[in-house]
Amino acid sequence: MDVIAMNRFLLFLIVFTSTSNLRAQDFDILIRNGRVLDGTGSPEFRADVGIRGDEIVALGKLTGATARRVIDASGLYIVPGFIDMHSHADRGFVSDNLETRRAPNLVTQGITTVVGGPDGRNPVWPMTAEIEAYRSRGIALNFVPMVGHGRVRGEVMGQDYERPATAEEISRMKELVRESMEAGAWGMGAGPEYRPGRFSTTEEIIELAHVVAEYDGFYYAHQRSQSPLPRWQTPSILTDGWRLTGTDGMKETIRIGREAGIRVVGSHIKAKGPTTWGHSAVDVLLIERARAEGVQVYLDQYPYETFGGGPTAVIPQWAYAPPGTDRSGGLDDPAWNRSGLLANYKENLRRNLAETETHDILVKDIEHILDLQGGADRHIIVVSPQDPSLVGRTLSEVASERDKTPVDMLIDFALSGTDRLRSGVRFRPIAGHAFDVENYMQQEYTATSTDGGVSLSARPGQHPRYYGAFTRKIAYYVEETGTITLPFAIRSSTGLPAQIVALPDRGYIRESYKADIVVFDLDRIRDRATIMDPGLFSEGIEYVLVNGEFTLDEGRRTGALPGVVLDRNVVRPVRRPRTD
């Protein structure tokens, strides 16, 4: 071949190759000129993202590429879809209500995947039926199914659960956990501060966690206590001296991780009430020591100083029961809600107050709850049907104005209560401290969560986390306070939860990963939901893609249902036989 012929051949190869590359770069969606934060915590880089079907197929400078839809992301951030590590969306996703399954309050925060089984519960049983419920109805977000410890315990023990399980019962629980893992669960959720899980022993949970560990699953829990006492106790309610603190709850989670050889998560972590403010330092020390020893311990957190999903009261429920009522079952005792026991609640309250000894016990319990929830100056009235002018004011303000102590003011409210609202008013308490919220948040092992579900309209006193948890982390803790950096915040909401769950193809902006993507304007992003107006949608999220399909397009909800139940069985299960 002469030189001229050779040059012609080389030119043909160059043109052919270039043409082939261009054809290869024809995409369904092309996001251009974005500032990419890939979910690893690394600094941003400028790149285009090419999407074909449900997958990211190209990342870089895609000059000359074409697409069915081109988005100019100049000045905008391109990040992985947010993964909610503690979500109650499962309740809404099994609904027949189409709008509920569209999850507008979650989509507008940039959430693309949620982890189910919170607090040890499952909305449908068995796991095969729960998974089928999501698949048959269609959902807006991806779903990570989890087997609930409380659900399994209830299935085996029925109503006879207020005791440790027998060896035979634990064996049956293990069978149900194994069946759920085989069906596709990614791990086990637990709520040992709730019924029926709070009557379990740590050894019981460890036995079940061993089964989960065989499948490389993980364990996450609403811990046994996250304050001076578990939420079902007050100073007057102590069972056999069983007094557990937040430290005990964290130690139990770590022990489960160590003895079962499993990844563990202390979920929606908090230090609740002035008595525990600063407790995050203790948790951090415990976790860092455990991690140094090889225990895989993580946390998740919603970024607020106020806790609890809905409005709360302060006077304990036992005060509305007849004098002498057994309260050893705890504040969550279902006996108190049985027909007739609380029928004469106002008269029962008066009689309890009239007995000196009972009066003194009640005052101590009220003071405990008041302190646990932040103190009188941090109790904001959000529901007051009889006097709407009180809404937005604190308990301490109203009590001072009326020359009463906070406890007396609470009793007055209750004595004027109604059948629909025995306590007379309800509060949004601010029980946390900025130090603890920020200290937990700054740890590299803390993921983001909402602890919220689907909400179509917020009721008075509802927590603003339902509408703003993920956007608040960026708008407030990155932009306003500088508590964390933007790459750190994105990692905590994407790559880190993907690492905890062990998702193989989500949580990062990478070629061959699923096209779960959020594009947002850092100058505009903000959470609008507040304590007094908790139902306002977030702003600044411009685009959200779930499996390559828009759920948010130019800031508008599309109503699409592209979510899937993530199938753990696609990833080869790791069966690790026990060695003990």
Of 35-49, 225-239, 481-495, the range with the lowest mean pLDDT is 225-239
Task: Summarize the confidence of residues 527-548 as an average pLDDT.
Answer: 98
The CB density around residue 492, as the number of other CB atoms within 10 Å, is: 31
DSSP helix/strand/coil, 150? helix
pTM for the model stands at 0.93
Q: What is the Cα–Cα distance from 108 to 103, expressed in whole angstroms?
A: 9
Q: How confident is the model at residue 112 (pLDDT cuts 50, 70, 90)?
A: very high
Structure tokens that stand for 307 in this block = 């806790």
Of 3-17, 137-151, 234-248, 401-415, the range with the lowest mean pLDDT is 3-17
Residue 573 confidence (pLDDT) above 70: no
Contact between residue 470 and residue 518 where contact means Cβ atoms under 8 Å apart: no
CA angle 341, 343, 346 (to 5 degrees): 110
Q: What is the Cα–Cα distance from 479 to 303, expressed in whole angstroms?
A: 14
Average pLDDT, the chain: 93
Residue 548 confidence (pLDDT) above 50: yes
Q: How far is CA 110 from the centre of its chain?
A: 14
In terms of C-beta density within 10 A (0-12 exposed, 13-18 middle, 19 or more buried), how is residue 232 classed? middle
Task: Provide the Cα torsion 490, 492, 496, 498; round to 10°.
Answer: -70
How much of the chain, in percent, has pLDDT values that exceed 90? 88
Residue 87: C-alpha distances to residues 67, 199, 365, 501 (Å): 35, 24, 31, 14
The CB density around residue 337, as the number of other CB atoms within 10 Å, is: 10
Q: What is the Cα–Cα distance from 179 to 541, expressed in whole angstroms?
A: 39
How much of the chain, in percent, has pLDDT values that exceed 70? 93
Instruction: Concatenate the DSSP letters of all residues of 22-83 into one string.
Output: HHHTEEEEEEEEEEE--SSSPPPEEEEEEEETTEEEEEE--TT-EEEEEEE-TT-EEEEPEE
Q: What is the Cα–Cα distance from 31 to 47, expressed in whole angstroms?
A: 9
Tens digit of each residue's pLDDT (9 = 90 or more) over 178-218 = 999 999 999 999 999 999 999 999 999 999 999 999 999 99
What one-character DSSP code corresponds to residue 309?
Answer: S
Task: Summarize the confidence of residues 168-178 as an average pLDDT.
Answer: 98
Residue 199: C-alpha distances to residues 196, 209, 215, 368 (Å): 6, 17, 26, 23
The CB density around residue 566, as the number of other CB atoms within 10 Å, is: 21
Tokens 């308990």 -> residue: 395
Assign domain 81-307+431-506 to its CATH superfamily: Metal-dependent hydrolases (3.20.20.140)
Residue 563 confidence (pLDDT) above 60: yes
Q: How confident is the model at residue 241 (pLDDT cuts 50, 70, 90)?
A: low
Task: Summarize the confidence of residues 530-540 as an average pLDDT.
Answer: 97
Q: What is the Cα–Cα distance from 465 to 449, expressed in whole angstroms?
A: 9
Tens digit of each residue's pLDDT (9 = 90 or more) over 86-103 = 999 999 999 999 999 999
pLDDT for 580 equals: 52
Structure tokens that stand for 69 in this block = 């839809």
Indicate where the chain has its CATH 3.20.20.140 domain(s). 81-307+431-506
Residue 339 confidence (pLDDT) above 70: no
Tens digit of each residue's pLDDT (9 = 90 or more) over 12-62 = 343 333 333 444 579 999 999 999 999 999 999 999 999 999 999 999 999
107 residue type, one letter: V
DSSP helix/strand/coil, 400? helix
Contact between residue 563 and residue 141 where contact means Cβ atoms under 8 Å apart: yes
Residue 321 confidence (pLDDT) above 60: yes
Q: What is the Cα–Cα distance from 174 to 153, expressed in whole angstroms?
A: 10
Instruction: Concatenate the DSSP letters of all residues of 434-492 into one string.
Output: HHHHHHHHTSTTEEE-------SSPPTT--THHHHHHHHHHIIIIIIS-SS-HHHHHHH
CA angle 276, 277, 281 (to 5 degrees): 95
Q: Are strands 187-190 and 142-144 parallel, antiparallel or unpaired?
A: unpaired
